[in-house]
Amino acid sequence: MLADDPLTGSLSAPELAALVEELERDVVIWSPASHAGWAIWGIVQAREDLENGNTEPDFDYVGYALGRIAAFRQDLVRLGL
């Protein structure tokens, strides 16, 4: 039992292992949503630069968005979607 550990409380080793496995699965499932959100952010930032007349932005927002879209697609393939 891991009762002395303040992070795990009274979880047994098998319970803790199951919890870690569940959290890892949740990360895999929600990862595409994170990539999608950041891709949208990059597109919005790029548009704002254009609307503000900034012809030479300090950051490649479009490139960043494209990278996040690629990661989004890879995650979907990994999930079998």
Cα→Cα distances 81→29, 72, 74, Å: 11, 11, 10
Give SS3 for 57.
coil
What confidence tier does 6 reach under pLDDT thresholds 50, 70, 90?
A: low
Which carries the bigger pLDDT value, residue 12 or residue 77? 77
Q: For 29-76, how does the pLDDT look when each residue is reduced to its tens digit (9 = 90+)?
A: 999 999 999 999 999 999 999 999 988 888 999 999 999 999 999 999
pLDDT computed for residue 10 by the predictor: 81
Beta-carbon count within 10 A of 42 CB: 21
What confidence tier does 4 reach under pLDDT thresholds 50, 70, 90?
A: low
Name the one residue in this structure whose structure tokens are 């292992």. 17
Residues 43, 24: Cα–Cα separation, whole Å = 29
